[in-house]
Amino acid sequence: TYVDFWDAWAYSKAMNGKLPAEDEWLSTIEFCLNRQIASPRLETLREWTSTRQRKPSFPMGPQYPRVLNQLNGGAPTSFVENRSLRSSDLGFRLLFPPEPPSQP
């Protein structure tokens, strides 16, 4: 909580991970539902993702990060124009690349 997009992004790079994209989040939830296992819950009410979106009223402008919203069942919410936003209900999680198979 109280982590802006830049802090989340920098931490993910320092840990050799990445912020999940919306489709990665949603496919994980779908995978869990199809196999009847517990799906991941958002640790906070909203979480930063690596997915970007342009402001609909200014389609040639910059792309802004999107957040996932627990209140919407993990469905995407609108973009967040202020990447420096810090809020008690906004956090993040990391994805890490799969480890290579061990050699015998």
pLDDT in tens, 71-81: 545 555 666 77
- pLDDT score for 14: 94
DSSP the chain: ----HHHHHHHHHHTT-BPPPHHHHHHHHHHHHHTT-PPP--SSSEEEEEEEEE-TT-TTS-EEEEEEEGGGTT-EEEE-S-TT---TTEE---B-PPPPPPP-
pLDDT at 89 over 60: yes
Q: Mind listing the pLDDT tens digit for each residue in 26-82?
A: 777 677 777 766 656 645 567 888 888 887 788 888 888 888 776 545 555 666 777
pTM: 0.69
11 pLDDT band, cuts 50/70/90, is very high
